[in-house]
């Protein structure tokens, strides 16, 4: 069983602070995705990383895929209240399927 562990499970910070969310596994993934989910809605894809060591930036969000393609991180600079939500990482496994981590609940206070 390929398991993705996310940490922390819950994060509450002030607006303007920086934060990092981690996604770790003992398995190697073909690609890894990060999603953001708001209450009452489905997850929305933020980014897909494919190459070991890859770094992608999306405005204030920076995503990194580990060299061995087993782990990933999401760093948010100068968090805003609009960043509040559940952040999920998902690794691509065989058969065009994804396995999801349990998620990190982020709350950004004004």
Partner 1 sequence: GAGVSQSPSNKVTEKGKDVELRCDPISGHTALYWYRQSLGQGLEFLIYFQGNSAPDKSGLPSDRFSAERTGGSVSTLTIQRTQQEDSAVYLCASSLTRVEQFFGPGTRLTVL
Summarize as ranges the residues that interact with partner 1 (CB under 8 A). Answer: 4, 6, 31, 33, 35, 40-45, 48, 88, 90, 92, 95-103, 105
Of 13 and 102, the one with the shorter C-beta distance to partner 1 is 102
Residue-by-residue DSSP string for the chain: ----EEE-SEEEEETT--EEEEEE-SS--S-EEEEEE-TTS--EEEEEE-STT-EEEETTEEEEE-TTSSEEEEEESS--GGG-EEEEEEEEETTTEEEE---EEEEEE-
Shortest separation between residue 36's beta carbon and partner 1, angstroms: 11
Of 48 and 62, the one with the shorter C-beta distance to partner 1 is 48
Of 82 and 95, the one with the shorter C-beta distance to partner 1 is 95
Shortest separation between residue 98's beta carbon and partner 1, angstroms: 5
């Amino acid at each position: 069983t390929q398991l993705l562990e996310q940490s922390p499970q819950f994060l509450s910070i002030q607006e303007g602070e920086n934060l990092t969310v981690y996604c770790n596994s003992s398995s190697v993934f073909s690609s890894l995705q990060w999603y953001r989910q708001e209450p009452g809605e489905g997850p929305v894809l933020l980014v897909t990383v494919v190459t070991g060591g890859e770094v992608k930036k999306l405005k204030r969000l920076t995503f990194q895929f580990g060299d061995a393609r087993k782990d990933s991180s999401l760093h948010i600079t100068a968090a805003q209240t609009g960043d509040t939500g559940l952040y999920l990482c998902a690794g691509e496994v065989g058969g065009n399927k994804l396995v999801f981590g349990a998620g990190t609940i982020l709350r950004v206070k004004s």
